[in-house]
């Protein structure tokens, strides 16, 4: 249905009620309730080589301590000024130089880290420290204290994913700083992975936390799982071999607001057209290839980061064995009954 024509009498009426903060629905209905998702977000790819050079430059301009977090925000070209990579999610690339500390704070926003380059820096979350290795998927639950540090001799770069725009939309943001740069370490390293990440749970544990108690999913384990599974040659036409990170207490997504995924595309594999309502941020861990998003094609290599807006068709092609990490707001949409996908008819 097209919008109602504007007559002088109608215009005069709109102007009159406008002063009372009233608007006629019939002039906006077709733009607020669309027949299918119409995102302002655009498909886009950031080359890690370019981001890395700018981050090193930022490293000479400001310390991690002064910046609190030395991050370059990946702003979707269709959402400039909103600190958003998709309508609901934030992404940035964070750099911690050798000897630096990003001071302890906590906030309502949940965060994930996916390590892009560098080895042996650490993050401390809720009193437990974990070393960060390339490909590790690390969680900072809502309201947990966290600080990052780098005792290694190389810079570390990681991709941050947060539910910042979603929390802003709900006006539910709280944030506090710890009294010193680093929180005390109160648990041994590896404790949560041993306790919750070995297909075991403490026998009398009754709590079912919204966020996974495992906060570092090491890439070595993830990669080995993918390598073993590929031997069955059971590949999904749309996804290759795609797994989701889970909360072992509940089987739900590891973070309540952000779904995180890892997928293997074997050399030469081309996926079937697929689209879904969860706009998705992807980063390449291994391999080279290209992804067609809507009618645009992006060539990728390791550490590049790209974004697929809601309801845009996706086709991946891997030139070599490729591993892609991704995240989206899928858990939110599933919980609200809004998640939709379209396999092959996109
Ligand atoms: O590391 O705590 O990219 O608080 C944005 C906000 C990272 C962090 C970001 C943050 C952090």
- Please name the residue whose Cα sits nearest to atom 6 of ligand 1: 69
CA 103 – ligand 1 centroid, Å: 11
Asked whether residue 26 is domain-assigned, the answer is no
Of residues 119, 117, 163, the one with CA closest to residue 139: 163
- Please name the residue whose Cα sits nearest to atom 1 of ligand 1: 69
pLDDT tens for each residue of 102-157: 999 999 999 999 999 999 899 999 999 999 999 999 999 999 999 999 999 999 99
pLDDT tens for each residue of 265-285: 999 999 999 999 999 999 999
> Which atom of ligand 1 lies at the shortest distance from residue 140's CA?
2
Mutation test residue for ligand 1: of 160, 183, 255, the one with most atoms within 8 Å of CB:
160
> Is the CB of residue 280 less than 8 Å from the CB of residue 308?
yes
> Is the CB of residue 323 less than 8 Å from the CB of residue 286?
yes
Around ligand 1, the residues with Cβ closer than 6 Å are 69, 71, 92, 94, 107, 111, 146, 160, 162
Our count of domains for the chain comes to 1
Name the β-bridge partners of 316. 291
What pLDDT sits at residue 3?
A: 67
CA distance 220 to 211: 22
pLDDT tens for each residue of 74-98: 999 999 999 999 999 999 999 999 9
Mutation test residue for ligand 1: of 73, 111, 139, 156, the one with most atoms within 8 Å of CB:
111
Report the run of H or E that residue 60 belongs to, with start and end.
helix 48-61
Whichever domain contains 175, its CATH number is 2.60.120.10
Q: Is 131 exposed, middle or buried (0-12, 13-18, 19+ CB in 10 A)?
A: middle
Asked whether residue 143 is domain-assigned, the answer is yes
Asked whether residue 22 is domain-assigned, the answer is no
Q: Which domain holds residue 262?
A: 44-343
Asked whether residue 3 is domain-assigned, the answer is no
- Please name the residue whose Cα sits nearest to atom 8 of ligand 1: 69
CA distance 301 to 288: 5
Q: Is 117 exposed, middle or buried (0-12, 13-18, 19+ CB in 10 A)?
A: middle
Write down the residue that tokens 């780098």 correspond to. 150
């Amino acid at each position: 249905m097209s919008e109602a024509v504007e007559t002088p009498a109608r215009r005069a009426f709109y102007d009159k009620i406008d002063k009372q903060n009233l608007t006629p629905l019939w002039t906006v209905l077709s733009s607020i309730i669309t027949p299918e998702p119409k995102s302002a977000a655009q498909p886009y790819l950031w080359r890690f080589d370019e981001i890395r050079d700018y981050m090193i430059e930022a490293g000479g301009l400001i310390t991690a301590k002064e910046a609190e977090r030395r991050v370059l925000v990946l702003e979707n070209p269709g959402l400039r000024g909103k600190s958003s990579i998709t309508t609901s999610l934030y992404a940035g690339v964070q750099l911690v130089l050798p000897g630096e500390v990003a001071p302890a704070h906590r906030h309502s926003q949940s965060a994930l880290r996916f390590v892009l380059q560098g080895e042996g820096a650490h993050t401390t979350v809720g009193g437990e420290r974990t070393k960060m290795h390339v490909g590790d998927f690390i969680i900072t639950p809502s309201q947990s204290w966290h600080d990052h540090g780098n005792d290694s001799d190389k810079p570390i770069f990681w991709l941050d994913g947060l539910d910042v725009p979603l929390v802003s939309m709900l006006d539910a943001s709280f944030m506090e700083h710890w009294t010193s740069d680093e929180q005390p370490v109160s648990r041994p390293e590896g404790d949560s992975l041993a306790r919750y990440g070995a297909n075991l749970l403490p026998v009398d544990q009754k709590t079912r936390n919204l966020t996974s108690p495992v906060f570092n999913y090491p890439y070595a384990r993830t990669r080995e799982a993918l390598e073993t599974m590929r031997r069955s040659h059971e590949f999904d036409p749309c996804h290759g071999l795609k797994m989701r990170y889970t909360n072992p207490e509940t089987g739900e997504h590891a973070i309540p607001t952000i779904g995180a995924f890892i997928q293997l595309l074997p050399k030469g594999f081309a996926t079937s057209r697929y689209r879904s309502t969860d706009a998705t941020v992807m980063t390449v861990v291994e391999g080279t290839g290209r992804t067609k998003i809507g009618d645009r094609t992006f060539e990728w290599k390791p550490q590049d980061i790209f974004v697929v807006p809601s309801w845009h068709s996706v086709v991946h092609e891997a030139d070599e064995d490729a591993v892609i990490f991704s995240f989206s707001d899928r858990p939110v949409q599933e919980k609200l009954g809004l998640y939709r996908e379209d396999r092959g008819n996109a």
